[in-house]
Structure 1
Amino acid sequence: MENTGDDDRIRAGQTEQANFPPEDIYAEDGSIRSDFLMHVGAAIADRDLLFLRRHVLRLHESELGDLLEAIQPEQRHQLVSLLGDDFDLSALTEVDEAIRLDIVDHMPNEQIAAAIGEMDSDDAVYILEDLDEADQDEILSKLPFTERIRLRRSLDYPESTAGRRMQTEFVAVPPFWTIGQTIDYLREDADLPESFSQIFVIDPTFRLLGAIDLDRILRTPRSAKIETVMRETNHPIPADMDQEEAAQLFEQYDLLSAAVVDENGRLVGVLTIDDVVDVIQEEAEEDLMRLGGVGDEELSDTTIDTVRSRAPWLLVNLLTAFLAASVISMFEATIEEIVALAVLMPIVAGMGGNAASQTMTVTVRALATRDLDIHNAWRVVRREAGVGVLHGLAFGLAIGSVAAFWFHDLNIGGVIAAAMLINMCAAALAGIMIPMLLDRAGADPAVSSSVFVTAVTDIVGFLAFLGLATWWFAVRY
């Protein structure tokens, strides 16, 4: 790094920014304070390392991640370059993927390898998994053999599995040790993880036998054998288990940590509650985004990437819209004779679409959390059908009354009331049956449901309203 005239400030430390004391970098609305961003930007421009080391290096990794997302791309690169080896690479686990890749691409592999060597294995894997294989190999080659093997083993597990999420740092002891031996081991071994709350018990082949919590160790006499006080690990997590299923085990059994085992029952890592919280948040966000048909889109994505992400389902929606329009065209003559139908038919389709979205959202979430299964499916279907009938009667009566008063025609009111009842029932059934059928077929209901549910409510709504109107007025007149 070349020195400039501005670097004299680093020695003197007399800049106004260095006196800025940001006790809390967040504003009341949860965003980073604008004055802090202004001072950081000025410090980056002035190459004021004194300010950056005093006020940026002290930030928690999540706060540093928020800062990286808030500043401009060129400022990110300059900040990382100025901080050099002091930059906390674990902050990249808190930012969008596009920002993470952008920063890592501008960092030399030697710096990445040095930082990864100081990180927890789960965070290191999180950084490495998005890199090209060539960069992965080069970075791993610079690490000690044991650490390289642990990280490579985690990277070999499929994405979104417990094996990718686990920490490979854990404490394991044989069952024949005494409590005293275990305590001495914990005090004297310098290679143990920085923090842990559970010790695992293994046999000579590393097969998991049980676990013992630290509080139990502290309350047990030193002479007692580990095997006499350990508890069986009832809920070990297979390394190839989907991370969402693993999170559900944590929720069901109120776990703080859990052993991760391979296909032979050997202990390979530990999954902790902080990792599971991240999984729960990611899965919830993913389901929400997919319900809107936007996939894995992030705020940092480019315009082109965003267009590519959203276009496919918009195209499918366009095709279903043409299908609904073709239904309307079948009743063109009726609409020409009774203009009121053109005014009222969007109400029927719109109400059905909103009702179906409510049912669909509840259903998709229940399927994701495994609350909806074959044992209670038909009970829930009957409940939603009942809700559809009651909503159809209530809103059909209300809208029918308004339509009859508006157009001074009881026939119009009766037709739209009947169409509303039919479409609300169809909406309730579509909102629950389509996600269930897609889930049974192996498709992701969060991605596919909304387009098909909307198509059903539009088509049924138009067909019911215009079909009933055509039949009724043909019979009546």
Structure 2
Amino acid sequence: MTDAGKNDAGPEFAPDSMPNPSNLPEGNDVRPFHDAEIPVHGEDGWLNEAFIRAVAEAVAAQDSESVRALAGDLHEADVGELIDALPEAERPVFVRLMGDLFDYAALTEMDEAVRVRLLEELPAADIAEGLGELDSDDAVYILEDLDAEDQAAILDELPLSERVQLERALDYPEDSAGRRMQSDFIAVPPFWTVGQTIDYMREDKDLPDTFYEIYVVDPGFRLAGAVALDKILRTQRAAKVSDIMQDDLKRVRATDDQEEVARLFERYNLVATAVVDDSDRLVGVLTVDDIVDVIQEEAEEDMRALGGVGDEEISDTVITIARSRIVWLIVNLGTALLAASVISVFEDTIQAMVALAVLMPIVASMGGNAATQTMTVAVRALATQELDTRNIWRVLRREVMVSFINGTALAVLVGVTAAVWFEMPGLGIVIASAIMVNLVCAGLGGLLIPVTLDRLKADPAIASSVFVTMVTDVIGFFAFLGIAALWFKLPL
């Protein structure tokens, strides 16, 4: 980590670029800046461009007072958006000018690549001080993307108890419940009364900022049950916690995959759940706000994987993006060459009837689109565990029927169009037959390929699209050109 240097250069703003106070929308949050008041948010809910420019001007001028006045009480999500919008060289300067008003929770709202580059420019001692004010799950989220050397530099600046807590969380597998859990929670023995529990919560100064349940543990800190806060408040003080606790509560292992945990929250409508180790000792708690982030993260990951772009971020460098995309482009090139080799087998057939070359892309395109539709549904169903051995054959029959119905409709439409276009009724029959064959195979491939990859422990979201495209291209070209050669008795 390095000390943030000063940056004296910055953009210049014309006085008339500042908004006129009389034109501000009613009820909008505004900040004073020089002789003008600037709305923080635009009509779309995002930060106002004029507000961002005002902050950038104050940062460029090293005007700490103005920066703190403008951004000092912003929500952490707005601070994260603001940092993303500032020029890269001015981001560490902004943090330094904010001083003790900077909430490091804002780093959890930022693009990963931006966050890592910013942390590399900040002193390790300042980062450690800021992380010390956060919930442990947020601190882990910020630290986990740094390399080992930078992590160690920051952890060395933390008090021993906090350092041990974060190191233990970082030892859990990536994308596990242990990485996402908060290690601050309330646990009481089963023999306590409700009154003792309430008094403890009122008097203790180190309670979590937000909590929904009180956990009950035995002397070995093994989880015995939990009591919801509303039940605590509705029960007489003399009642024992063990008499009102829920002992069959849902719990997760610290090593469980975060996606599995998210499904548990979704299925049982959980607000919070306990996290235990392999010995059933309570080690943390997961709350619904953590899971919302997990759901969004996993959905984005699946969407990017379907496009073959991995964990690419919008702020990544050209080299990073190119390196992440080239692998699957090379694989796709290999499958494209396979499809081309099928075409080369029918070279004489195409030369004998040029119309075949004109119509080939239609067959491949129809099959590719149909397969992508099925594949998208299949990959999502596998990710949510809605598709398994219990219903695979029913879903397969459904997809074949859908492909047959759509294939019939498209075959008639394209067949009639081709027959009229080239004045060859036989050509219409040929392409209609090829489309029927390709769409049925597309439905089969779009489902079976993701399922097969999943059984082989490969990520179907990443690999399916390349192989599905290969299948529809190869079968489409082979069916169309093969049927045409047989129908018109053309040379092979």
Classify the TM-score, shorter chain.
over 0.9
2:458 aligned residue: 443
Note if 1:179 corresponds to 2:175.
no
1:207 aligned residue: 222
Query: What is the aligned counterpart of 1:432 among 447, 471, 484?
Result: 447
Contact 1:17-1:43 within 8 A present in 2 as well: no
CA shift in 2, pair 1:173/1:371, >3 Å: same
Amino acid at match of 2:152: D
Distance 1:104 1:228 in 2: 49
Report the alpha carbon displacement of residue 407 of structure 1 after superposing the two structures with TM: 0.6
Distance 2:38 2:80 in 1: 16
Q: How does 1:4-403 map to 2 (within 5 A)?
A: 17-18=33-34, 20-28=36-44, 31-403=46-418
Matched residue SS, 1:355: helix
Contact 1:385-1:428 within 8 A present in 2 as well: yes
Matched residue SS, 1:231: coil
Amino acid at match of 1:263: D
Contact 2:442-2:472 within 8 A present in 1 as well: yes
Contact 1:244-1:283 within 8 A present in 2 as well: yes
Report the alpha carbon displacement of residue 31 of structure 1 after superposing the two structures with TM: 4.2
1:412 aligned residue: 427
Contact 1:247-1:280 within 8 A present in 2 as well: yes
Report the alpha carbon displacement of residue 21 of structure 1 after superposing the two structures with TM: 4.0
1:9 aligned residue: none
Amino acid at match of 2:51: F
Contact 1:401-1:413 within 8 A present in 2 as well: yes
Report the alpha carbon displacement of residue 16 of structure 1 after superposing the two structures with TM: 7.3
Stretch moving more, 447-456 or 147-156: 147-156
Distance 1:297 1:31 in 2: 23
Distance 1:137 1:463 in 2: 58
Contact 2:484-2:490 within 8 A present in 1 as well: no
Distance 1:16 1:366 in 2: 51
Report the alpha carbon displacement of residue 210 of structure 1 after superposing the two structures with TM: 0.3
CA shift in 2, pair 1:186/1:23, >3 Å: farther
Distance 1:20 1:349 in 2: 61
Report the alpha carbon displacement of residue 45 of structure 1 after superposing the two structures with TM: 1.3
Distance 1:202 1:232 in 2: 11
Amino acid at match of 1:129: E
What TM-score do you get using the length of structure 2 for normalisation? 0.92
Report the alpha carbon displacement of residue 20 of structure 1 after superposing the two structures with TM: 4.7
Report the alpha carbon displacement of residue 197 of structure 1 after superposing the two structures with TM: 1.4
Matched residue SS, 1:196: coil
Distance 1:307 1:458 in 2: 26
CA shift in 2, pair 1:193/1:465, >3 Å: same
Matched residue SS, 1:299: coil
- Structure 2 unaligned segments of length 5 or more: list them: 10-30
CA shift in 2, pair 1:315/1:140, >3 Å: same
Distance 1:319 1:369 in 2: 31
CA shift in 2, pair 1:221/1:22, >3 Å: farther
Matched residue SS, 2:386: coil
Distance 2:130 2:220 in 1: 32
Contact 2:191-2:240 within 8 A present in 1 as well: yes
Distance 2:146 2:187 in 1: 32
String of CA shifts for 1:191-220, please: whole Å, max 9, x gaps. 111221111000011000000011111110
Distance 1:425 1:125 in 2: 48
Report the alpha carbon displacement of residue 19 of structure 1 after superposing the two structures with TM: 5.2
1:456 aligned residue: 471
Amino acid at match of 2:164: I
Amino acid at match of 1:383: R
Report the alpha carbon displacement of residue 37 of structure 1 after superposing the two structures with TM: 1.5
Report the alpha carbon displacement of residue 233 of structure 1 after superposing the two structures with TM: 4.1
Contact 2:40-2:51 within 8 A present in 1 as well: no
Report the alpha carbon displacement of residue 165 of structure 1 after superposing the two structures with TM: 0.2
Distance 1:122 1:167 in 2: 5
Matched residue SS, 1:271: strand
Contact 2:113-2:316 within 8 A present in 1 as well: yes
Report the alpha carbon displacement of residue 146 of structure 1 after superposing the two structures with TM: 2.1
Amino acid at match of 2:41: I
Stretch moving more, 170-179 or 17-26: 17-26
Stretch moving more, 332-341 or 81-90: 81-90
Amino acid at match of 1:238: R
Contact 1:160-1:243 within 8 A present in 2 as well: yes
1:422 aligned residue: 437
Matched residue SS, 2:369: helix
Report the alpha carbon displacement of residue 5 of structure 1 after superposing the two structures with TM: 12
RMSD of the alignment, in Å?
2.0
CA shift in 2, pair 1:74/1:434, >3 Å: same
Amino acid at match of 1:295: G
String of CA shifts for 1:364-419, please: whole Å, max 9, x gaps. 00000111111001100010011111111110011000000011110000000000
Distance 1:21 1:144 in 2: 42
Contact 1:85-1:111 within 8 A present in 2 as well: no
Distance 2:46 2:322 in 1: 27
Report the alpha carbon displacement of residue 34 of structure 1 after superposing the two structures with TM: 1.4
Note if 1:474 corresponds to 2:484.
no
Distance 1:397 1:2 in 2: 69
String of CA shifts for 1:1-28, please: whole Å, max 9, x gaps. 999999xxxxxxxx97245544542442
Contact 2:7-2:89 within 8 A present in 1 as well: no
Stretch moving more, 251-260 or 19-28: 19-28
String of CA shifts for 1:144-167, please: whole Å, max 9, x gaps. 222222111111101100000000
Amino acid at match of 1:40: V
Distance 1:425 1:104 in 2: 52
Contact 2:310-2:462 within 8 A present in 1 as well: yes
Contact 2:226-2:249 within 8 A present in 1 as well: no
Amino acid at match of 2:185: F
Distance 1:454 1:411 in 2: 28
Amino acid at match of 1:325: A
Distance 2:248 2:315 in 1: 42
Report the alpha carbon displacement of residue 69 of structure 1 after superposing the two structures with TM: 1.2
